Amino acid sequence: MSASLPPLHKTLARLDAHLAEKGLDRGEFLDVRELSRRTALAEGEVRALLDGVGVLDDKVDDRIRGRVRALYGAYLDESGKRPADVCREVAGQLGISDKWARSLLNGDKMPNVPDLTRLAEFFRIEEGTKFFTDPAPVVLNGALQRVVGELEGGVDDGPLLRFTLEHGVVTLALRGHRLTPRKQEALALTLESLLSGESEEVER
């Protein structure tokens, strides 16, 4: 999360301007649940920030523990793995006991800097430890900057976003940040082929 980023309200203004050009509405385009998953912020926090309402100040320790816990929950849902297995994986990554890993992932214990760095690596967080420590508006701003950048054609991984804009599959635009440009292109082509096939069947 670079300090040089424009403030959140300016990012939202740029987003709204681009969506207006495409005849889209921010409320329909942005998936609050997916933004919550990506940022490890509560859905209520995301909605409040999108509406221009400030969120309550929180302590850094609480912020870190809460985001680790949110990432852990999202990882369990996406991977389908058992909590015990994930705790074992994290324990191996951090070089700690399974019990201590469970306490960290559940938000019961505060990770130190090395552990936080390895947790960022485990969950594939590009922003590193700042993802856990930055205030909520900064974290959400960083997530929205990628979407705005793609709308403006300023980043390389745009194939998936272009596909989602054409077909209204808006959640994929937010999930695509973990895919390489080549994988995004392949996914977009595959989905395009599937949708084309469905269209041909309907015409018959």
Compute CA distances 74 → 13, 39, 71, whole Å: 29, 11, 5
CA 183 to chain centre: 18
What's the rounded Cα separation, in Å, for the pair 45 and 90? 28
Compute CA distances 68 → 32, 74, 102, whole Å: 19, 10, 11
Q: What is the dihedral of CA 193, 195, 198, 200, to 10 degrees?
A: -70
Domain assignments of the chain as residue spans, ordered by start: 8-32+41-55+135-203, 60-133
Q: Is the pTM of this model over 0.75?
A: no
Would you state the CATH architecture of domain 60-133?
Orthogonal Bundle (1.10)
Over its length of 204 residues, how does the chain's per-residue pLDDT go in tens digits?
Answer: 444 678 899 999 999 998 888 888 888 888 898 899 889 999 999 999 999 887 767 889 999 999 999 999 999 999 999 999 999 999 999 999 999 999 999 999 999 999 999 999 999 998 899 999 999 999 999 999 888 887 776 544 455 555 555 554 555 555 554 555 566 666 667 766 766 655 445 444
